[in-house]
Structure 1
């Protein structure tokens, strides 16, 4: 194509950030930027900033919620950095920094006890809750930040209770160790969600760069704060509550901005309940906006996935009841106030979704006063009939609405059971 600048030989672009064209004119090849004038990504100040702190290929290489989440994550990291400075100053004062009567040995023992109890807490928490962190990343991320603020508040108060100082800082150390496990694991889970080009390492590295920059800014502000708060406990506590309020608000906005397209129990329950009401399938954005991000303490019937056979049936009669009207590679039953699901080794992701939908419906029916007159096995058989009717159109609607049904974040245990179709 020929223009006033010459013949266009080729064109190139860097994602959606910029595009260039090559022209041939008077036997010379020239390269000119297409569209608005200005410096390229690598030369302008803004371009350099993007290269240093944003993943390669941004915004196409990340999820749509990336920028909003990172903004609020930056705000919370900055406020947390300032709160941490106040807590560290209080801890150092508590172990005797600036006190001529304090001994190095006593301060060292206190610090070692604090670190030791934190290490034990980290191991125990990962053992008990590690498998939950993927399926409920938003809740655990918010929980970690609330617990972190509680731990820092305890460290600030500890010097006012010298007799209990070691106990308080050790407890705060345990809390911070839980924060380290939950915060790090959920950050990794969110990075998996944000990566759109198998670029988890790049996103994680740039997230580290962003956090380092924020911490540097926090350090500069902290240098101005320290002379003001030294020997002024009221100002210390007042500023701590101010930073904590900002920290918690920013964290809430951050997890609320995340829009995951994969199902966990809460999102699947929200979408299924809406579908059962009016046959409308919620989009990922709508379901994520309704997803609870705080742990709930109201009484519900829990669902246990991937259990042993004995948690579903405990007799031949119950085994026959579990197989009745069931041609799926899973078995359902109600035991000890829980809906339990046995999964066969050949079950697909679609089968897992159907089993979870069925279990969620059973759980809601067990909470319903009108259904409590039925036996558990009658409700199980009714759930099979319901799924035979609604599941196929439901799953088609879910896929059309933009949900990723190739994988899930459902909390399946590892038990897999093979059974005969009829008991002898």
Structure 2
């Protein structure tokens, strides 16, 4: 006589980590793990580690580049922790710790001056560059780490220049305050990118747990290093340089591993230029691979300003008439005083913003070849745009509207098919919005 076999009545899983099934037999329901190997102690420890240090629902709840970025971020945090220990030891020695002739008051004043200048630096940097940190998160992230290493190197070398010690540590304090603003803000921007289930708080909290674990490991290693380098400035500098190289390399690999599917000016320019050359739409992975991650401090030949006041584009009624010619979109473009400027209307959508940026890119960059369907005469007029003294300047702007009419819709459909997000952007728009009363002619 055949014995009754258990019947699976339900299954459940916890993300991709666990899979269970419910079996009914003789009126009793039993729950057991679907994968018997998953019950091993090793897998239990792995699951526990994931629960403690990785966001809930990993890997489905985060971006595809999360693990690679976090690996290199962990390496750089460990190296930075060791470098920071060496810098702190040097700073303490510089303010007189261990020196019987040093006074508490002098050390306190030096410390207060360093903190005070750092606070001022934090406020000024956030005022001047705060709006840039979202649109260029990778560049500012890497810049912050380079500046942090520079500040720590200054702190290590400061005791060798006692006459200038206060000046050096105050300058290093300003650098570190900039690092605090840029590093914290860009970390938040990257967290927004990594979150796939509106779980930014969870990702940020688990990132803090990872960093705490790394700092704890760095603390244990530092306890071994400090006795070795206390009386050896040369060894201190040598180890610092070694940790700095590791720190910068890991940071470079970390920002290179980030694949953002949201357009900023650089990524949009890369994708648009490729499309104008050969009609190919680059995927987010391909475009991010080409995106530069180092800040450029030299001024571009024809930079773009977004969301400007109307007076930066038009100076007369004739200018306004030209700006509206062939233009039925809620933005105005013009090139004046060495800038390509875009004036935005209050009703402009994200799609309008992307189109305006594409048009500004075409006006600010000479193109190498014409896309299919674009007349050579139009392309020639775009190339001649930068002769700003030319009376045909506004004609070139008008022709850029015609160019966008031909290429933008196919381009927009192409980038959406390639996986780019077009419902939001990281374009650096200022807050001016202008509502013009005249209709386009």
| TM-score tier after normalising by the smaller chain length | over 0.9
Write out aligned runs for 1:344-423 (5 A).
Answer: 344-365=345-366, 372-373=386-387, 375-422=392-439
Q: In the aligned structure 1, how far is the partner of 2:244 from the partner of 2:393? A: 47
Q: In the superposition, relative to structure 1, how do residues 407 and 41 fare at CA in structure 2: closer, same or farther (>3 Å)?
A: farther
| CA 1:242–1:25: 2 relative to 1, 3 Å | same
- CA 1:105–1:394: 2 relative to 1, 3 Å: same
Q: What are the residue-to-residue correspondences of 1:96-245 with 2, within 5 Å?
A: 96-245=96-245
Q: Could you tell me whether the CA contact under 8 Å between 2:328 and 2:440 is conserved in 1?
A: no
Q: Deviations over 1:284-332 (max 9, x none)?
A: 0000000110012363311000000000101111111111111110000
Q: CA deviation at 1:365?
A: 3.2
Q: 1:27 deviation in Å? A: 2.5
**How far off is 1:224 after superposition?**
0.3
Distance 2:253 2:393 in 1: 41
Distance (Å, rounded) in 1 between the aligned partners of 2:312 and 2:221: 57
Distance 1:415-1:299 versus aligned 2 partners, 3 A rule: closer
Runs of 4 or more, structure 1, over 3 Å off, are: 40-43, 365-375
Distance verdict in 2 for CA 1:372–1:417, change over 3 Å: closer
Q: Secondary structure at the match of 1:339?
A: strand
Partner of 2:11: 11
| Other-structure match for 2:314 | 313
> Does the 8 A contact of 2:191 with 2:204 survive in 1?
yes
Change (3 A) 1:156 1:5: farther
**Paired residue secondary structure (2:335):** strand
Once the two structures are TM-superposed, the CA of residue 38 in structure 1 deviates from its matched residue by 2.6
Report the 3-state secondary structure (helix = DSSP H, G, I; strand = E; otherwise coil) of the residue aligned with 1:345: coil
TM superposition shift of 1:390: 0.1
CA distance in 2, matches of 1:40, 1:359: 59
Matches within 5 A, 1:4-153: 6-39=6-39, 44-153=44-153
Specify whether residues 308 and 397 from structure 1 end up closer, same or farther in structure 2 by C-alpha distance, changes over 3 A only: same
* Structure 1 partner of 2:375: none
Say if 2:325 and 2:440, in contact at 8 Å, map to a contact too: no
TM-score, normalised with respect to structure 1? 0.96
- Unmatched runs of 5 consecutive residues or more in structure 2: 369-381
User: For 2:199 and 2:249, how far apart are their aligned partners in 1?
Assistant: 29
Looking at structure 2, the residues matched to 59 and 113 of structure 1 have their Cα atoms a distance apart, in angstroms, of 46
1:26: Cα distance to partner? 2.5
Mapped to 1, the partners of 2:418 and 2:383 lie a distance apart of 33
* CA apart distance, 1:44: 1.4
Report deviation, 1:410.
Answer: 0.2
Q: Is residue 274 of structure 2 the alignment partner of residue 274 of structure 1?
A: yes
Give the direction of change, closer, same or farther, for the CA distance of 1:332–1:60 in structure 2 (3 Å limit): same
1:61-115 per-position Cα deviation (integer Å, ceiling 9, x unaligned): 0000000000000000000000000000000000000000000000000000000
**1:334 equivalent in structure 2:** 335
The alpha-carbon deviation at position 371 of structure 1 amounts to: 5.2
Preserved contact between residue 55 and residue 203 of structure 1 (Cα < 8 Å): yes
- Quote how far apart the aligned CAs of 1:18 are: 1.6
Contact (CA 8 Å) 1:42, 1:48: kept in 2 or not? no
Cα distance in structure 2, aligned partners of 1:51 and 1:153: 38
Q: 1:223 to 1:278 in 2, by over 3 A?
A: same
Displacement of 1:381 in angstroms is 1.3
1:123 Cα deviation from its structure 2 partner: 0.3
Q: Taking structure 2 as the reference length, what is the TM-score of the superposition?
A: 0.93
CA deviation after TM superposition for structure 1 residue 378, in Å: 2.5
